[in-house]
Amino acid sequence: MSSKGKLILYTGASGVGKGTIMKQLLKKDPGLRLSVSATTREPRPGEVDGREYFFVTKDKFKKMIEDGGFLEYAEYCGNFYGTPQKAVEEMLSQGLNVILEIEVQGGVQVMKKCPDCTSIFIMPPSMETLESRLRGRNTEPEDVIAERLETAKNEVTYAKMYQHTVVNDDLDKAVEEVLDIIHSK
Ligand code: 5GP
């Protein structure tokens, strides 16, 4: 992918606080854009179609795969998630830095397709903190939390494939660290 802007791969286990960090990054960095993914998961309360995600049916998602519309896609806890390629390319060609907030399987695909990307993995201070954050969010039923926790244990093993790891034990510090990485040469 030829581009003027930087492609940033941003991954972390479910519940690690990467969404909270992301909100701050977007507020503080006017040259940064978040790629809006497509997903087959149901919207959570407060989520808006086209803002957090493009919420699509499984059939529509399959059609998007067939049309070659995804830079990467993966199945995560029973739902599909994918990065629409064209939107990312357009923003990069405008000189914007584009951040992909995606899980590990998609992350591996992006590293292969775009070896020049900057990769950042957000780590929890501990697995206990991660569990209490997942439960505290109160948005998912117990079986979903249990599944996400199991997935998270596997996810953190991918951290070593990323160029940078940032431990989220202090929000402001983590935000600054990620901004420094994005703006480093
Ligand atoms: P959630 O359901 O909590 O919004 O997202 C579940 C996981 O899917 C998170 O780790 C999130 O980063 C990841 N995700 C969101 N969009 C994409 C995408 O386009 N591709 C991939 N591979 N993962 C995604």
Ligand 1 site: residues with CB under 6 angstroms?
A: 14, 37, 41, 72-74, 76, 81-83, 101-103, 105-106
* CA 30 to chain CA centroid, nearest Å: 19
Please answer whether residues 87 and 36 qualify as being in contact, where contact means their C-beta atoms are separated by less than 8 angstroms: yes
Contacts of 183 (CB under 8 A, 6+ apart): none
Residue of 103, 104, 137, 145 with the most ligand 1 atoms within 8 Å of its CB, for mutation: 103
What residue ranges in the chain does DSSP mark as E strands? 7-12, 32-34, 37-39, 53-55, 70-76, 79-84, 97-101, 118-123, 164-167
Pocket test for ligand 1, best of 20, 39, 108, 154 (most atoms within 8 A of CB): 39
Nearest CA to ligand 1 atom 12: 102
CA–CA–CA angle 34, 114, 99 (5° rounding): 10
| 104 within 8 A of 114, measured Cβ to Cβ | no
Distance 168 CA to ligand 1 centre (A): 18
Tell me: pLDDT of 138 over 80: no
The predicted-structure confidence for 8-61, as pLDDT tens digits, reads as follows 999 998 788 999 999 999 999 999 999 999 999 999 999 999 999 999 999 999
Distance 172 CA to ligand 1 centre (A): 23
State pLDDT tens for residues 91-120. 999 999 999 999 999 999 999 999 999 999
Which ligand 1 atom sits closest to the C-alpha of 83? 19
The Cα 99–Cα 10 span in angstroms is: 7
pLDDT number for residue 82: 98
pLDDT of residue 133: 85
What are the backbone dihedrals phi and psi of residue 117, each rounded to the nearest 5 degrees, phi first? Answer: -70, 160
Q: Which of 9, 15, 38 lies closest to 150 in space, CA to CA?
A: 15
pLDDT (0 to 100) of residue 35? 98
Mean pLDDT for 149-165 is 93
